[in-house]
């Protein structure tokens, strides 16, 4: 595996406008960290704040029009300073972690209902148990939650019936300080990145089974090849994985890279940041329904406060927006594409109250449906998020009609996968639109 030395000309455009939908007010409700908003069944966007000053953070809900509700505040005993947001589970609750607080002050794993009922699921204890988690756990196709810890570098599993267990602990060779959340690939395996460790101590990419067996890893070489990946990977519709490194340590420059991991295990560099208007320290990517990748840098840009950019899967990089004091500064996670077609994200600081913002960007993309889980089997129920679902007349799975579906609300419905369904898009037909899933549903054996 080699790092391809690819460099592309940077272009810029002002066609997209960033709009602030909410200014965080500070205290517990201030300073969202590495937060990718999570869309709920009710259409709201959910996330966490780290807290400003001596405050310990919170869990929030914000509507796409900016109405905000504080679901829970942290006080130390129930955790403190969550950095990474929350994940929607198949039970309708949200799951997340705090980096500190709890019985050992090493963080907690929690769940919270959309109405605010908060439950601690596990207190991290350090050592073989792991500690100081950052990214929220993901729910895999088997129904279990999988997550990582930065301290003592573990991958854990949380079963709703059996509780918490550690399934893998890293050594220096395979990675250290696992900050980013995992993702589950279309092959059912778990993929992730480690901030440090590996052959050059510049971080790794790894692949595991859901039982914790390591299958493959790659060591970042430092220098122009990149170092210190701390944001989750994203799997594109082309099957490849894409991600970011915070640094490209070489010749005194630490600006970051965008990389691609192909399905055959080859790692190549798509873009190397130059440290000027193009941004510094990229922190994650997402793929929108136009097929392009979008992300942010934490700093750099025309104001030095970060940029919002797009890059094609072939490596053409474009600056779309530089963040300002008014829009919010230092964005630290890629945005989410809501099923209304808009992108929504957060910034850590500045804005009206100097406590960060929630923002939207309209790329001109239409509405679609998203699934709560993209790997399943015939006869199982799929959960569907969307817009204006009331009155739905049909649901198809790669062209095969569902014989059973249930419209729960205007933004949430379920459907049973029919016999004969194969891997492909899910399509919902409503009285006003035909809505296609943003990713294919994988039908597994």
Q: What confidence tens digit (pLDDT) does each residue in 45-73 have?
A: 999 999 999 999 999 999 999 999 999 99
pLDDT of residue 208: 98
Q: What confidence tens digit (pLDDT) does each residue in 95-133 have?
A: 999 999 999 999 999 999 999 999 999 999 999 999 999
pLDDT of residue 20: 97
> 223 — phi, psi (to 5°)?
55, -140
Tokens in use for 341? 């077609």
pLDDT of residue 248: 62
Confidence of residue 11 (pLDDT cuts 50, 70, 90): very low
Other Cβ atoms within 10 Å of 127 Cβ, number: 14
pLDDT of residue 8: 36
Domain range list for the chain: 11-361, 370-443
Strands (E), 113-162: 118-123, 138-139, 145-149, 154-159
Q: In the CATH hierarchy, which top-level class contains the domain 370-443? A: mainly beta
pLDDT of residue 249: 54
DSSP 8-state code for residue 122: E
Confidence of residue 264 (pLDDT cuts 50, 70, 90): confident
94-97 sheet: strands from edge to edge: 86-88, 94-97, 108-112, 118-123
H or E element that contains 126? none
Mean pLDDT, residues 252-267: 88
* CATH architecture of the domain formed by 11-361: 7 Propeller (2.130)
Q: What confidence tens digit (pLDDT) does each residue in 271-295 have?
A: 999 988 999 999 999 999 999 999 9
Task: Name the average pLDDT for the chain.
Answer: 94
Confidence of residue 156 (pLDDT cuts 50, 70, 90): very high
């Amino acid at each position: 595996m080699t790092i391809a030395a690819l460099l592309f000309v940077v272009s810029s455009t002002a066609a997209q406008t960033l709009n602030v939908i909410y200014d965080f007010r500070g205290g517990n409700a201030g300073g969202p960290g590495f937060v990718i908003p999570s869309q709920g069944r009710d259409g709201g966007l959910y996330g966490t704040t780290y807290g400003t000053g001596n405050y310990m953070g919170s869990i929030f809900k914000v509507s796409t029009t900016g109405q905000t509700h504080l679901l829970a505040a942290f006080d130390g005993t129930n955790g403190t300073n969550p950095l990474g947001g929350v994940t929607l589970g198949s039970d309708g609750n949200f799951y997340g972690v705090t980096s500190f607080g709890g019985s050992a002050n090493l963080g907690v794993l929690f769940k919270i209902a959309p109405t605010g009922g908060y439950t601690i699921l596990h207190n991290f204890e350090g050592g073989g148990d792991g500690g100081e988690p950052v990214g929220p756990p993901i729910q895999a196709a088997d129904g279990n939650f999988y997550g990582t810890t930065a301290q003592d570098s573990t991958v854990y599993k949380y079963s709703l019936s059996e509780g918490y267990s550690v399934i893998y602990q890293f050594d220096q060779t395979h990675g250290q300080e696992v900050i980013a959340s995992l993702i589950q690939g279309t092959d059912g395996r778990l993929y992730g990145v480690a901030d440090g460790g590996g052959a050059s101590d510049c971080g790794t990419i790894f692949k595991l089974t859901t039982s914790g067996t390591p299958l493959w890893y790659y060591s970042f070489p430092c220098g122009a090849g990149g170092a210190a990946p701390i944001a989750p990977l994203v799997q594109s519709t082309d099957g490849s994985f894409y991600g970011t490194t915070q640094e490209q340590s070489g010749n005194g420059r630490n600006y970051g890279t965008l990389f691609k991991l192909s399905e055959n295990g080859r790692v190549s560099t798509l873009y190397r940041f130059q440290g000027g208007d193009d941004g510094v320290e990229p922190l994650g990517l997402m793929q929108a329904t136009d097929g392009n990748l979008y992300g942010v840098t934490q700093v750099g840009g025309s104001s030095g406060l970060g940029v919002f950019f797009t890059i094609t899967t072939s490596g053409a990089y474009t600056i779309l927006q530089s963040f300002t004091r008014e829009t919010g500064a230092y964005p630290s996670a890629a945005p989410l594409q809501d099923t209304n077609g808009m992108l929504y994200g957060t910034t850590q600081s500045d804005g009206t109250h100097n406590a960060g913002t929630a923002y939207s960007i309209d790329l001109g993309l239409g509405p679609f449906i998203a699934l709560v889980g993209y790997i399943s089997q015939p006869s199982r129920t799929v959960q569907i998020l969307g817009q204006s679902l009331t009155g739905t007349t049909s649901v198809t799975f790669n062209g095969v009609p569902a014989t059973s579906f249930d419209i729960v609300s205007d933004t949430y419905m379920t459907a049973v996968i029919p016999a004969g369904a194969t891997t492909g898009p899910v399509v919902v037909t409503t009285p006003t639109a035909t809505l296609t899933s943003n990713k294919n549903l994988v039908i597994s054996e």
